[in-house]
Structure 1
Amino acid sequence: MNIKKDITIYDLAQKLNLSTSTISRALNDNPIINKRTRKTVQETARELGYRHNTFASNLRKQKTNTIGVIVHELNSNFITSVLAGIEKVTTAAGYDLIIAHSSENHEKEVANALNFFHKRVDGVLASLSFTTHNLDHFTPFGERGVPVVFFDRVEENHDSTHVIIDNHKCGYQATKHLIEQGCKRIVLVTASLQRNVYEQRHSGYMDALRDNGIPYNKHLVLIKDLSEQCGIDAAMEIMHMDPMPDGAFITNDFTAAVCMHTLKENGLNIPGDIAVVGFNNDAIGKIVHPKLSTINYPGTDMGEVAARNLIGYLNGASELHQTKTIIVRSELIVRESSLRAESPVAVPATTGVL
């Protein structure tokens, strides 16, 4: 198989007997070149299969017009919605995206960051893996003036801009709602407390129990990976607890849906025997029966906010790290899975900037 070599502006110049500068200007539709010549050059370029060398052009400008996005997984409705929000903003601003995922692995996240650094991305948006224990791999970007904005899973003690929801308040509201429904023995199913999102939801859970006179019981906190199997395992553990919990706050909707399904298969009534609240407001929550109460986590909004801030840094509209913490609005949505008594449909959580 013969592979054709790329057509260059030198080939066009030779064919049309024009200077390379005239060819370049004509291809860029520069009005300094007369309309007829521009049309001839552009038509010839199309006929010969000329491709503009964006990479070389960007290197000359010291800009690649690309933004790197590091996420902890791709198989997630939440992450999909975040990426949709990011793409909407970056496309409008003229940037391309390179997306990488860490598979919840620190070493892979480090490799992704290094790859982005060598690809000379103009900025980075990142959500940390379960096992990430330091942010040293992002230091080279700061040293070169390349902005990094963290979202969702962040290291809040780090001097960086991050976009989050008020996870503590959401955890508090979900637990308080269950208490208001008459639950007194509430199990929390969550993930690694090393990550801010799960540690703060756990903290909110503890504070809601304390404020309502319910002792904290570490045996009612199940630390898992929030997978499908996790939902099954959590249901089996719940059923073997004595006494069995009468409420469950599960910090992922898919896991909550699987857990509810397993409980129902084993003869339990929801919310009669155990009331359940999930987290994220994924589409599955509206399909399962009973419909799942949840925390609305607006991924699209989070993606848009994170991308707008990054673009703001790149366009010089704001200084790097000028705004440290941006909190995106979230709310409790009450549906049948937790509703034992009269309750409002939604309780707004915090929105704003710290």
Structure 2
Amino acid sequence: MGGDLGPKAVVEGIGYALKRWPERQTRYLLHGDEAALGPLLLKHPKVAAVCELRHSDTLVQMTDKPAEAVRRARGSSMWNAIQSVKSGEAHAVVSSGNTGALMAISKVILRMKKGIHRPAISANWPTPKGHTVVLDVGANVQCGATQLVEFAIMGEAYHRAVFGGEHPSVGLLNVGQEELKGNDIVREADGLIRNSGLDMAYKGFIEGNDISAGIIDVVVTDGFTGNIALKTAEGTARLVAGWVREALTSSFFAKLAAGLLALGALDRLKRRMDPRYINGGVLLGLKGIVVKSHGGADGEGFASALGLAQVMAKSDFMSQIRKNLDKFASFEEQDIAAAS
């Protein structure tokens, strides 16, 4: 029920998902207002055929503060959707609603995995070599060094689960690659990763321009920096796309060239630059799969978030992070014992 377009984007998103991945046998539980969802399903019979509607009398508002949402959310569409993952009735939950509320309610219902103090939101960043995973992109404005190490562990396992590859490279986002650059927290996290014996291809510090270059598979940062970087990249993509569109419609010959390019090349370029095709961030660290869709996503954008949830549901991400979490916990225990 959340998001700028409300349930319309959700129902249309399922329709797009059916077209993109016809081989996937996915069914959907739609939690929300039957009066709003029912007419939409009547307009999309193919979507209705794979959906089960669960009526909810209340919903979490986009303006609700997380603490308020948790107190008042029981029985809401967001609460019931997350609860369906807790009960095992659903394998994953996708929402375009209030990010803070989704995070808070998910923590209450699903709880955190052992060894994880805070969840992180991941983003899949397109690069010339594929995708770079960036986390956190908004869940934690302030992070300690230990949380950044946990993000590195989760991000590395997430990249393997979604994109494959045995040893994805990991880097800490910093203002420079030199050891003395950055604040105390980033430098401390660097030392913890290097000294804790994690099974990880850690490459040290990287800079902002390295993200889009694709030289690193997993970029770790706090939610404040990560969210600004993500929104800046999305805005830049839209700006460049606008310039390309303007250039290709500025004259008759430009339109003729655009017509020739539209035979395939222009469509491929548009798809690579369109943020809708990489929409969806996983709330990593929970005992269940929760995917946050961008609040402004339309049907095509929401379909991308659904596709990500499907991949995560079939992956072994939950078990993949356990080995390194146990190693890091053991290292911290030894460090505390040595200090005492």
| TM-score normalised per structure 2 | 0.28
TM-score (norm 1): 0.27
User: Greater share of helix residues, 1 or 2?
Assistant: 2
**RCO greater where, 1 or 2, for CA within 8 Å and sep 6 or more?**
2
